[in-house]
Amino acid sequence: MLTQRAIPTGSSRGTNGLSHPVPAPNNALAGTIDMMGAAMPFARNAEIYGENEPADYLYKVVSGAVRTYKVLADGRRQVGAFCLPGDIFGLETGNEHTASAEAITNAKVLVVKRSALMALAGRDNEVARELWTVTGRELRRVQDQILLLIKTAKERVGGFLLDMAIRGAAGNQVELPMSRQDIADYLGLTIETVSRTLSDLESAAAIELPSSRRIVLRNRAALGLPNG
């Protein structure tokens, strides 16, 4: 069931929910995942897991990028997170995934059996504490996403670019692995508004757009962040 999905370039389905990326904590948990995890390749757009499926595994991105998302009954999709190398995702406190996850690009992902990690947490307090910490970090990230969603389009796009720049850690160069539609669904906007906002930021000399997936930040203060 996991392996069945590893190869096919899956389609975009899913039901309805959000999900998690968490900067790899530099600690026992991350090390444990690296030790215990089985590396699996996922093709672009392949489903890694679906919402409401048993959360038997958790994941850590090695290379490539992953999106988690929920789809509402009317078809609207909300992307909950973009997971980059080092990020942990799919960790649940309940028994089912609360969102679906797909590879955005061809990606390599470490897969760890949850039951094994839970058993370890039962013996090792540090691991238990770190599982909690990872969930807490994800909680803060989602809370920040809410703050982003109440802002203007310019602030949302600016905040998103800033976040990607920080996470990419490549200075002012940002290489976006995801489509405009992914960004729009993450920010609660339409692709047209995302595209227009990027064009506006370029006109305002806040960014450069050498290509649609490559962005150079030129003036961070001009990224439309009147607030935090």
Partner DNA sequence: CGACCATTTGATATGGATCAAGCGATGTGG
Partner DNA sequence: CCACATCGCTTGATCCATATCAAATGGTCG
Please report, as ranges, the residues that interact with a second copy according to CB under 8 A.
Answer: 16-20, 70, 72-74, 76, 78, 80, 92-94, 98-99, 122, 125, 128-129, 131-133, 135-140, 142-143, 145-147, 149-150, 188, 226-228
CB of 76 to a second copy, least distance (A): 7
Nearer to a second copy, 65 or 99 (CB): 99
Cβ proximity to DNA: between 46 and 134 the closer is 46
Instruction: Please report, as residue ranges, which positions from 118 to 177 form the binding site for DNA (by CB under 7 A).
Output: 152-154
Tell me which of DNA, a second copy, none is bound by residue 133, counting a contact when its beta carbon lies within the kind-specific cut-off of 5 to 8 angstroms: a second copy
Tokens of 72: 């509402």
Q: Is 58 helix (H, G, I), strand (E, B) or coil?
A: strand
198 binds, among DNA, a second copy, none (CB under 5 to 8 A by kind): DNA
Q: How many CB atoms lie within 10 A of CB 139?
A: 11
115 contacts DNA (rule: CB under 7 A): no
Q: What residues form DSSP beta bridges with 69?
A: 79, 100
Contact 101, 118 (CB under 8 A): no
Strand order in the sheet with 77-83: 47-49, 100-103, 66-71, 77-83
When asked if residue 27 is in the footprint of DNA (CB under 7 A), the reply is no
193 makes contact with DNA (CB under 7 A): yes
Interface with DNA, residue 195, by CB under 7 A: yes
Residue 203 to residues 19, 134, 165, 179, 197, Cα–Cα distance (Å): 34, 39, 20, 21, 10
